[in-house]
Amino acid sequence: MTITGKVVAVTGASSGIGAATARHLASLGAPVVLGARRADRLDGLAAEITAGGGRAAAVRVDVTDPGDLRALVDTAVDRFGRLDVLVGNAGVSRIGPMADLDVEGWSAMVDVNVKGILHGIAAALPVFRRQGRGHLVTVVSTSGLKIVPTQAVYAGTKNAVRTLLEGLRQESTDGVLRTTSISPGYVRTELVDHAVDDPVAREQAKRTMAELGIDPDAVARAVAFAIDQPEDVEIGDLTIRPARQG
Ligand code: NDP
């Protein structure tokens, strides 16, 4: 079974990388289940995919709530008969030196970026085991590979996810589960819009992203590549960054 017909749930599908991924996978024949908090955006994307001949369902999901992830997985099974892939993409970023003590921002990153993935694992793993097959794809970051000032907590959350996935992989060598960590570099999305409060610093970050960032479709193609492999092949890690990124 290649990508066509695989049922894929995507968290954070209301914008950026998640929306591009859902669009791309649907264009390749995968039924997609879209999850995020902005339901209006999800409904719009689901309608667009359906109008283009694809199959899509939308569920309002806050990944900090384990029950919402269960609802996402249940929707895949109810609407399309199974869940083949969960793309854990929802994420938030807060940029700033740790000395700023942005405790609220730290908590948000841990809650969404780390616990959100754990909630997805808890919801999807029983279904994958029941089916005898499943694939967990997470969107981490090059921030975790090259630690720079102002991104320590964000990088920490992304590396926590990398660690969780590697542990899960080691525990899942019976061939039922495949795991993939996708590490994007700068990608032109809304992520940076919410990353800094100071308007001057925010404009600077947005300019950098606009000048250097690559299109979210580049990451979508990488996700598709990881999914579109024979059952005995696991793409463990993929890094996709602008050719000009340092
Ligand atoms: P966006 O801000 O465009 O997308 C983030 C997505 O996460 C949105 O769909 C948002 O939906 C969703 N989200 C945030 N909080 C929650 C929540 N509590 N529950 C459910 N969904 C939530 O940015 P990107 O597309 O760039 O981000 C996608 C992923 O890519 C993130 O994990 C990010 O860390 C990662 N990444 C991005 C890079 C970049 O340069 N852009 C680089 C490396 C990694 P909603 O608000 O509707 O809930």
The atom number, within ligand 1, closest to the CA of 184 reads 43
Residue 132: inside a domain, yes or no?
no
Residue 114: inside a domain, yes or no?
no
If you measure from the C-alpha of residue 18 to the centroid of ligand 1, how many angstroms do you get, rounded to a whole number?
Answer: 7
Confidence band, pLDDT 50/70/90 cuts, at residue 109? very high
Residue 245: inside a domain, yes or no?
no
State the ipTM, two decimals: 0.99
Asked whether the beta carbons of 106 and 156 are under 8 A apart, the reply is no
**What is the value of pTM for the model shown?**
0.98
CB-count burial class (<10 Å; 0-12, 13-18, 19+) for 105: buried
Does 91 sit in the ligand 1 pocket, CB within 6 Å? yes
Q: Which domain holds residue 43?
A: 8-103+139-240
Q: What is the CATH number of the domain that holds 149?
A: 3.40.50.720
Number of domains in the chain: 1
Q: What pLDDT shows up at residue 2? A: 86
Residue 126: inside a domain, yes or no?
no
Confidence band, pLDDT 50/70/90 cuts, at residue 100? very high
Residue 87: inside a domain, yes or no?
yes
Confidence band, pLDDT 50/70/90 cuts, at residue 65? very high
Cα–Cα distance for residue pair 153/150, rounded to 1 Å: 8
Residue 231: inside a domain, yes or no?
yes
Question: Mean of the pLDDT values across residues 145-158?
Answer: 96
| pLDDT tens digits, one per residue of 215-239 | 999 999 999 999 999 999 999 999 9
Cα–Cα distance for residue pair 30/67, rounded to 1 Å: 25
Q: Residue 44: in which H helix or E strand, if any?
A: helix 39-51
Does 190 sit in the ligand 1 pocket, CB within 6 Å? yes
If you measure from the C-alpha of residue 139 to the centroid of ligand 1, how many angstroms do you get, rounded to a whole number?
Answer: 9
Residue with tokens 């940076």: 192
Model confidence at 1: pLDDT above 80:
no
| pLDDT tens digits, one per residue of 84-96 | 999 999 999 999 9
Residue 85: inside a domain, yes or no?
yes
List the catalytic residues.
154
Residue type, 246: G
Does 14 sit in the ligand 1 pocket, CB within 6 Å? yes
Q: What pLDDT shows up at residue 68? A: 98
Does 154 sit in the ligand 1 pocket, CB within 6 Å? no
Model confidence at 64: pLDDT above 90:
yes
What integer best gives the mean pLDDT of the chain?
A: 97
Q: Residue 78: in which H helix or E strand, if any?
A: helix 66-80
| pLDDT tens digits, one per residue of 167-180 | 999 999 999 999 99
Asked whether the beta carbons of 56 and 81 are under 8 A apart, the reply is no
| pLDDT tens digits, one per residue of 174-204 | 999 999 999 999 999 999 999 999 899 899 9
If you measure from the C-alpha of residue 95 to the centroid of ligand 1, how many angstroms do you get, rounded to a whole number?
Answer: 14
Question: Mean of the pLDDT values across residues 159-164?
Answer: 98
Residue 119: inside a domain, yes or no?
no
